[in-house]
Amino acid sequence: MYDTIFAKSFSRREQKRLRCGAFLFCLLLVLSLCTVFKPYLGPIHVLSLKLSLVVDTKMFMVNDTSSSPHTAKVENVVAKIVDDTKSSPQMNDAESVLQEILFNDTRSSQQIAKDEENVTKNILTNGTRSSPQKAEVEEIETKKLESLCTSEERTDFCQSQGDIRIHGKSSSVYIVSPETTLSAENISWRIRPYARKDDAYAMVQVREWSVKPVKVSQKVPQCTKNHSIPTVLFSTGGYIGNHFHEFTDVLIPLFLTCRHFNGEVQFIITDKRPWWILKYQPVLNKLSNYDIIDIDSDDEVHCFLSVSVGLKRYRKELSIDPQKYSYSMKDFRDFLRSSYSLKRVQAIKIRDDQPKKPRLLIISRQRSRSFTNIAQIAKMAKRLGFIVIIKEGGGSMSSFANAVNSCDVLMGVHGAGLTNILFLPENAVFVQVLPHGSVEWLAKNDFAEPSKDMNLKYLEYKIRLEESTLIQQYPLDHIILKDPPPIGKISWETFKTVYFDKQNVRLDVKRFKPTLLKALELLHQ
């Protein structure tokens, strides 16, 4: 009916004009509604970006006048790489990602930055082989991988994060990455994880490990055990068995490497010595909350998110440089006191009105460099006002540490036993007796200088030839007695055999007395 009336009232031309007018009216109505209700609509972001991308011979162009803080970044990235990636088959994927960035700017700035980085990686890393940008990316990645391993004066160590796989039987550590470039695949390291790399004799006794970055697409051992904590792989080979080296080569470096984990770290030991672990159990338990893995014969593939192969170490013996590391020797000694529950922090301060006597610990030795008249020395020290304790190293480490900590003065002939000064309280006095021979350099570097960083008061007593038992073994005009050769002119083994292994000391108590009097004086200060 409506169509009949409509046809009778208007001509065909007029009907066409009316339809056009109705269409325009509806369009204006819709635009008006959009304008009125615009505040209630979700945000519509329009990018102010002029971007040209050649993708399969077609031009992709976007123009607008609004602003976005991320536009310039994307534009610069694309402008830089487009000329060298026109023929890359990966451009289709890049186009899709870029379109999402261009038209969906509702993400956070962190998300946008991450997408921009992914676009760059997608185009550069997967682009054409001739791309100079890809070569630049490979060079950067190669340098990054090369920096994973650090070579210092006394130690080598590698540190990495990500997909880490450790296989004990093959002595291999794999750093697995989907982004490893072909140029980086040739990088690998051979490392002996013991912090005394300059000593060939020690390093021969340390197992060598391979650290290699690999692509995930390569044939890599699959994980059989996954761990959610970092790991530190180190050796108890080398000079383990010598008290001095156990601290300077392993325990102090181990403290530097993993103390910041606060126990949340897994120890992996190569060249494992069970007796050593038992000896230092309190220290190891304080550094790690987990059972140690004996890796050498382990056929499992242990996977971690972070690894350190080898240990950090300061170049000086029994020392830590607080400017280089986050810790000092004071921190390490506090850590030892906590590990062994040592009570005394400060040595006694003698006052004239105080009847309490200072305690003197004489480190005795049985095999070499022992005091042959130790009873006479103790008697003289008691007359001066000391409570004298005579003790030899060995047995329970905890018991010996507590004995040392209870004393105010420690004395002994140069040797590994003097390493126990680490357990002395602050401001205690340390007396190092130097045997006959050119041992001054060793005495200074091994104990004299380190003791100052431990806040100890240092005294030194150099024996005369008459106080050495070497006079019973060589004629008085022999070079060993008359002109002792320094280390370097003779081999270390010869030097050690003559001046350390074959020599004992008979102290001249009258000559030594002023040294103990000086120790008393220092305890008054």
Which DSSP string corresponds to 105-165? TTS-HHHHHHHHHHHHHHHHHSS-TT-HHHHHHHHHHHHHHHTTEEE-SS-EEEEEEEEEE
Distance CA 197, CA 171 (A): 18
> What local confidence, expressed as pLDDT, does residue 51 receive?
36
- Of 158-167, 174-183, 429-438, where does mean pLDDT reach its minimum? 174-183
Residue spans of alpha helices (H) in 226-351? 243-245, 252-258, 274-279, 281-287, 329-339
> What local confidence, expressed as pLDDT, does residue 15 receive?
63
Q: Strand ranges (DSSP E) for 168-300?
A: 172-177, 189-191, 209-215, 225-226, 231-235, 266-270, 293-294
pTM (2 d.p.):
0.74
Cα first-last separation, the chain: 122
> What local confidence, expressed as pLDDT, does residue 184 receive?
55
- Of 262-266, 355-359, 427-431, where does mean pLDDT reach its minimum? 355-359
Split at pLDDT 50, 70, 90, the class of 223 is very high
Q: For 345-366, give one letter per residue: b (16+ CB within 10 A) or e.
A: eebbebeeeeeeebbbbbbebe
Q: How many CA atoms within 13 Å lie on the side-chain side of 380? A: 17
Contact 196, 155 (CB under 8 A): yes
- State the average pLDDT over residues 118-127: 49
Q: Which residue type is seen at 85?
A: T
* Mean pLDDT for the chain overall: 82
Split at pLDDT 50, 70, 90, the class of 132 is low
Contact 388, 378 (CB under 8 A): yes
Domains and CATH numbers, the chain: 147-315 (no CATH), 347-524 (3.40.50.720)
Q: Which residue type is seen at 470?
A: L
Query: Which residues, 6+ apart, have CB-to-CB distance to 134 below 8 Å?
Result: 124, 125, 127, 128
- Does the pLDDT at position 40 exceed 60? no
Distance CA 255, CA 262 (A): 11
- Does the pLDDT at position 61 exceed 50? no
> What local confidence, expressed as pLDDT, does residue 475 receive?
95
> What local confidence, expressed as pLDDT, does residue 224 receive?
97
- Does the pLDDT at position 268 exceed 90? yes
Contact 50, 75 (CB under 8 A): yes
3-state secondary structure of 429: strand
Sign of the dihedral defined by the CA atoms of residues 100, 106, 111, 117, in that order: positive
- State the average pLDDT over residues 144-163: 86
- Does the pLDDT at position 91 exceed 50? no
Contact 388, 360 (CB under 8 A): yes
Cα 151 to chain center, whole Å? 13
Please indicate whether residue 106 or residue 192 has the higher confidence score (pLDDT): 192
> What local confidence, expressed as pLDDT, does residue 111 receive?
60
Distance CA 126, CA 144 (A): 19
Split at pLDDT 50, 70, 90, the class of 202 is very high
Determine the Cα angle at 174 with ends 269 and 299, to 5°.
55
